[in-house]
Amino acid sequence: MVLPRSEMEFLQPESWAEALAVRAAYPEALPVAGGTDVMVELNFARRRPPALLDLGRVAGLADWGTEDGLLRLGAGVPYRRIVTELAGRAPGLAMAARTIGSAQIRNRGTVGGNLGSASPAGDALPPLLAAGALVELASVRGVRRVPVAGFCTGPKRSMLAPDELIAAVLLPPDAGPEQFAKVGTRNAMVIAVCSFALALRPVSRTVGTGIGSAAPTPVRAAAAEELLVAELPWADRAALPEPLVRRFGELVAAAASPIDDVRGTAAYRRHALGVLAGRAVRRAWAEHRRGGVRG
Partner 1 sequence: MRIDCVVNGEPRRADDVWAGESLLHVLRERLGLPGAKNACEQGECGSCTVYLDGKPVCACLVPAGQARGREVVTVEGLGDGDLHPVQRAFIAAGAVQCGFCTPGLIVAVHDLLARTPSPAEEEIREALAGNLCRCTGYEKILTAVRLAAGREHES
Ligand X SMILES: Cc1cc2nc3c(=O)[nH]c(=O)nc-3n(C[C@H](O)[C@H](O)[C@H](O)COP(=O)(O)OP(=O)(O)OC[C@H]3O[C@@H](n4cnc5c(N)ncnc54)[C@H](O)[C@@H]3O)c2cc1C
**Residue 95 interacts with partner 1 (CB under 8 A): yes or no:** no
* Parallel/antiparallel/unpaired status of strands 9-11 and 51-54: parallel
**Residue 22 interacts with ligand X (CB under 6 A): yes or no:** no
Smallest separation, CB 198 to ligand X (Å): 18
Q: Which is nearer to ligand X, 22 or 30 (CB)?
A: 30
Smallest separation, CB 52 to partner 1 (Å): 6
**Residue 28 interacts with partner 1 (CB under 8 A): yes or no:** no
Q: Which is nearer to ligand X, 124 or 175 (CB)?
A: 124
**Residue 283 interacts with partner 1 (CB under 8 A): yes or no:** no
**Separation of alpha carbons 125 and 250, rounded Å:** 22
Subset of 89-118 contacting ligand X (CB under 6 A)? 100-101, 105, 108-110, 112-114, 116-117
**Separation of alpha carbons 189 and 252, rounded Å:** 25
Of 86, 94, 64, 78, the C-alpha closest to 36 is 78
Number of residues binding to partner 1, judged by CB under 8 A: 32
The binder of ligand X chosen from 11, 36, 70, 98 (CB under 6 A): 36
The binder of partner 1 chosen from 12, 87, 206, 282 (CB under 8 A): 12
**Residue 166 interacts with ligand X (CB under 6 A): yes or no:** yes
Applying CB under 8 A, the residues found at the interface with partner 1 are 5, 8-10, 12, 32, 34-36, 38-40, 42-44, 48, 51-52, 54, 56, 80, 101-105, 107-108, 186-189
